[in-house]
């Protein structure tokens, strides 16, 4: 079924669990589609005008349709309670400890994805709307001791493989949605809120970050790139960006 649906690569630890729910739902929908289709063709033939010159006002007496409806509701409840809710609960309740994870701030803005890494001190600097300029799109305070070494990238996120990622998601204007299909990550960025999202990339390579909420005229170009690299390459990335910051 997964191949039939043409699902994108599973590039995170929880991707298979999400796909399992998608596959179950599609099987249920396929059975319902075929069932309804057969029933439709049956009624066309069984109740055709030539064989039924007068209408029958008595209606259905059998309870089969009620039993079928209850069975469908039961299967839906099983998918929801046994598969969907447990998969969701892990995403929202079982965050990995921050000291064993890559922690980033992801800031959505019409029509860009900004990523901030805390730098060698491990602390994120202050951001303030009054500091926003053409070269400081997110208002990062470089005079704040915690912010001086923060690394800021636009539309390019780099992360190490096989390490959990915790992204604190926020937006500077409207509602956006942080979507990385290959990682099975999707979370709305809501004005005034900082929403944590976590996942663990398991495959190195280049992936796409999209905005999954229509957020304005430039929504179509709100596209970022995610590079998953080895732990060593990630450390080199951080030191290169740190050196560039020191040179500025
Ligand atoms: Cu957007």
User: Which pLDDT value is given to residue 65?
Assistant: 87
For the cut 90, the answer to whether the pLDDT of residue 245 exceeds it is no
Q: Point out the domain boundary residue: 93, 116, 137.
A: 93
Whether 89 and 104 map to the same domain: the answer is no
Instruction: Tokens 């495959």: give the residue.
Output: 203
Identify whether residues 38 and 149 lie together within a single domain.
no
Count other C-beta atoms under 10 Å from residue 112's C-beta: 19
Q: Which of 27, 162, 5 is nearest to 83 (CA)?
A: 27
pLDDT at 192: 95
For residue 223, report the distance from its CA to the centre of ligand 1, in Å: 9
> Cα(191) to centroid of ligand 1, in Å?
12
Q: How is residue 84 written in tokens?
A: 């969907």
- CB distance 20 to 83 below 8 Å: yes
Mean pLDDT across the chain: 94
Q: How far is the CA of 222 from the centre of ligand 1 (A)?
A: 6
pLDDT tens, position by position, 29-78: 999 999 999 999 999 999 899 988 888 888 788 999 899 999 999 999 99
Considering the domain architecture, whether residues 86 and 118 belong to the same structural domain is answered as no
User: Which domain, by its residues, includes 67?
Assistant: 2-93
CA of 225 relative to ligand 1 center, distance in Å = 14
Binned at pLDDT 50, 70 and 90, residue 153 comes out as very high
pLDDT value for 56: 81
Instruction: Give, as residue ranges, everything with CB less than 5 Å from ion ligand 1.
Output: 176, 211, 215, 222
Query: Is 178 found in the same domain as 106?
Result: yes
- pLDDT above 90 covers a percentage of the chain that reads 85
Segment 91-115 mean pLDDT = 95
Please tell me whether residues 108 and 224 are part of one structural domain. Answer: yes
pTM above 0.85, yes or no: yes
| Model confidence band, residue 202 (pLDDT cutoffs 50, 70, 90) | very high
Are both 43 and 165 inside the same structural domain? no
Look up the CATH number of the domain holding residue 185. 2.60.40.420
Report CA(155)–ligand 1 centroid distance (Å).
12
**Which pLDDT score, from 0 to 100, does residue 41 have?**
97
Q: 153 CA to middle of ligand 1, Å?
A: 17
| Cβ proximity of 157 and 226 under 8 Å | yes
Residues 111 and 181 grouped into a single domain? yes
Q: Are residues 222 and 145 in the same domain?
A: yes
The average pLDDT across 177-196 equals 96
Cα(32) to ligand 1 centroid in Å equals 35
Q: Do 118 and 226 belong together in one domain?
A: yes
The number of distinct structural domains making up the chain is 2
Q: Would you state the pLDDT for residue 247?
A: 83
Q: How far apart are the first and last CA of the chain?
A: 53
As a residue count, the chain comes to: 248
**Ligand 1 centroid – CA 7 distance (Å):** 23
């Amino acid at each position: 079924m997964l191949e039939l649906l043409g699902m994108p690569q599973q590039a995170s630890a929880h991707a298979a669990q999400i796909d399992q729910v998608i596959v179950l739902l599609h099987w249920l929908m396929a059975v319902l589609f075929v069932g309804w289709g057969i029933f439709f063709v049956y009624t066309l033939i069984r109740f055709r005008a030539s064989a039924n010159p007068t209408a029958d006002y008595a209606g259905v007496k059998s309870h089969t349709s009620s039993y079928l409806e209850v069975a469908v509701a039961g299967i839906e409840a099983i998918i929801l309670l046994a598969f969907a809710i447990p998969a969701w609960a892990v995403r929202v309740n079982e965050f990995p400890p921050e000291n064993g994870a890559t922690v980033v701030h992801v800031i959505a803005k019409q029509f860009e994805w900004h990523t901030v890494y805390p730098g060698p001190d491990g602390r994120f600097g202050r951001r303030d709307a009054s500091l926003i300029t053409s070269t400081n799109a997110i208002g990062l305070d470089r005079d704040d001791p915690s912010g001086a070494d923060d690394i800021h990238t636009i539309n390019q996120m780099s992360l190490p493989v096989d390490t959990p990622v915790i992204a604190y998601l926020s937006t500077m204007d409207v509602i956006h949605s942080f979507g990385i299909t290959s990682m099975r990550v999707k979370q709305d960025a809501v004005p005034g809120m900082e929403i944590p999202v976590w996942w663990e990339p398991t495959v190195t390579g280049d992936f796409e970050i999209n905005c999954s909420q229509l957020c304005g005229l430039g929504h179509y170009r709100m596209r970022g790139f995610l590079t998953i690299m080895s732990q060593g390459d990630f450390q080199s990335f951080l030191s290169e960006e740190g050196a560039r910051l020191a040179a500025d």
